[in-house]
Chains A and B, each alone.
Chain A
């Protein structure tokens, strides 16, 4: 029963602890996660917006630069075509002069100049290569140049065998058009785009409509060209002033940020590409900090909730136990009180018949004094018997008196208690039991002890308990029970010492625990000593025990003496 109870209690308190931990954790962590989540998502969105805006602006600016570069070079050639007539353009010396002026102004951007007649024959040439009389009639750029008044070609290898592109201006009549062309140094152009580098992985390049590189990308083009050209083709040329930003996973499984803008009248696409994680490096840093803070917070909350709940529940279980003890004490005191009342009733009822019996015996004694009986041969025997009735009647009287004084004291109000007298009374009440157990009770009282201000009932209960426990312990072999009182300073010390078998050391620490008992089931509640302990504590006193195996056990009760 007791073990079941204990098990049930442990289970209950464990469940309670778990519930409390759960509630504290949920209540504390949920708002923390929510706040962190909202803040992070806000930050994430605005940061992404900022990155987009920044990259968009960057690409637009460079697109503008490149467009300007191309327009400028075209204008140079246009100006030349307009300023010179056909004879001058056909003159290599003039062309060399013009090239020299251009190179002086723009460095090596202009590689060469050429004048091509309607048949595709370069009739005049100025430049470092030997391209005089080169035939371009089949070249793609020449066909395009004839179609358009101005033309800027894609990058191509051409006759010279390394990448370049050309700028052309068409002149002459419709029947006999001519073309003035200039070669733009690829390296110079390429540098314009290649200098766009951001972070570790951000770079830019230009593609034509066929998806061919017009500049050399800083990194190997990991992604398939396909996705650019698709993107490129789906663009509405009228919206070419806008940039388009997207994030896509490449074939290597990395998410990239792509910023695209059309240039050269929609012929070319400038693409800026960067790994997303590189672009959002700061965001990831912030994310790490938030996760760290959350982690520390969660660990703190969990630790606190475990510690706090554990402490609270252990406190609660302590209070529950105390309450249970108090309840038991109230029940025990109540039992004692009702037993007392019952005893008082019985004592009263017995008093009258006993009084009558004793008096009737006395009456017979009175009558025996008369002469007619004086000679009776059994007179002495009669008188002895009557005396005996008187003696036994008086004994009954004493018993009922004791019962009545015991009953009168069954309340927990504070009285002035004469300790020695009360112990004497209790010893007398226990005398019968002691005789059966073969125990001799010796009292050694200090005289003139001050009055003790305690509840008589409770004090009786404590003393009776100790006496009964001692008698129980010595029941088998008999022994000696010494009860002594003394005054030590402001404390009254009551010692109850038996010479019984003693209490094993392992049990000694637990004897004041509620429900601890070594008696067989049904014999003891295990509450006696714990109630004693509670009562003595309530009186402001101390109780302790010393025990030596095979030599006996001694209880000391120390109670404060309150002087008026």
Chain B
């Protein structure tokens, strides 16, 4: 089902059930999801692999999402980060955009919306390649 140009997505969220179900659903829509369940795990994963887009939960137990974002941007400046926030925490999301994130969505969000946003981010990533 995956197309030749399948999008490589790094998903970071400490809510395991959410990561798994989203990963399953995105995989059906041609998005290759690598699942990580904490900020540190995500950073570890990013060291060895390359991704087009990261889906980053801003509220996690081990590390603040914004901190993870900063590390991502240092390690892989071309990586496009879509942030997931709770309703009412838009302020943090706006701060994230100032730090170089691509955009944000509030949780829970419609899957179609999520896929759309990931595709936009991937397209933006593409443009950056020479």
Chain A residue at minimum C-beta to C-beta distance from B17: A356
Interface residue ranges of A331-351 to B (CB < 8 Å): 344, 347-348, 351
A397 within 8 A of B: yes
Among the 9-residue stretches A39-47, A257-265, A399-407, the one with 4 or more Cβ atoms under 8 Å from chain B is A399-407
Interface size on B, residues (CB 8 A): 15
Provide the bound-state CA to CA distance between A495 and B25, in Å.
Answer: 50
Task: Verify A359–B87 contact, CB threshold 8 A.
Answer: no
Chain B residue at minimum C-beta to C-beta distance from A344: B88
B77 within 8 A of A: no
Task: Verify B88–A362 contact, CB threshold 8 A.
Answer: no
Provide the bound-state CA to CA distance between A362 and B114, in Å.
Answer: 13
CB B122 to nearest CB in A, in angstroms, measures 20
Task: Verify A362–B108 contact, CB threshold 8 A.
Answer: no
Chain B residue at minimum C-beta to C-beta distance from A405: B88
Task: Verify B18–A356 contact, CB threshold 8 A.
Answer: yes
B24 within 8 A of A: yes
Contact count A vs B, C-beta below 8 Å: 52
Chain A: interface secondary structure?
helix
B92 within 8 A of A: no
Residues of chain A lying within 8 A (CB to CB) of residue B25: 359, 362-363, 366
CB A488 to nearest CB in B, in angstroms, measures 35
CB A381 to nearest CB in B, in angstroms, measures 22
Task: Verify B21–A400 contact, CB threshold 8 A.
Answer: no
Task: Verify B21–A351 contact, CB threshold 8 A.
Answer: no
Task: Verify B18–A352 contact, CB threshold 8 A.
Answer: yes
Contacts A352-B18, A359-B21 known; A366 to B107 CB distance under 8 Å?
no
Chain B residue at minimum C-beta to C-beta distance from A407: B88
Task: Verify B86–A356 contact, CB threshold 8 A.
Answer: no
CB A269 to nearest CB in B, in angstroms, measures 117
Residues of chain A lying within 8 A (CB to CB) of residue B107: 351-352, 355
Task: Verify B86–A351 contact, CB threshold 8 A.
Answer: yes
How would residues 15 to 26 of chain B score, 1 for a CB under 8 Å from any chain A CB and 0 otherwise?
101100110110
Provide the bound-state CA to CA distance between A347 and B87, in Å.
Answer: 9
Residues of chain A lying within 8 A (CB to CB) of residue B18: 352, 355-356, 359
B111 within 8 A of A: yes
A534 within 8 A of B: no
Task: Verify A363–B108 contact, CB threshold 8 A.
Answer: no
Residues of chain B lying within 8 A (CB to CB) of residue A197: none
Contacts A359-B25, A363-B25 known; A348 to B86 CB distance under 8 Å?
yes
Chain B residue at minimum C-beta to C-beta distance from A359: B21
Residues of chain A lying within 8 A (CB to CB) of residue B111: 359, 362
Chain B residue at minimum C-beta to C-beta distance from A356: B17
Task: Verify B88–A351 contact, CB threshold 8 A.
Answer: no
Residue among A348, A366, A404 making CB contact with B28, cutoff 8 Å: A366
Write 5 A-B pairs (CB below 8 A) sorted by A numbering: A348-B86, A356-B21, A358-B108, A363-B21, A400-B87
Q: 5 closest pairs, A vs B, by CB?
A: A355-B108, A404-B88, A359-B21, A356-B17, A401-B87
Where the two chains meet, the residues of A that have a C-beta atom closer than 8 Å to any C-beta of B are 344, 347-348, 351-352, 354-356, 358-360, 362-363, 366, 393, 397, 400-401, 404-405, 407-408
Known pairs A355-B108, A359-B111. 12 more at Cβ < 8 A? A347-B88, A348-B59, A351-B86, A351-B107, A354-B108, A356-B15, A359-B22, A362-B111, A363-B24, A366-B25, A404-B88, A405-B87
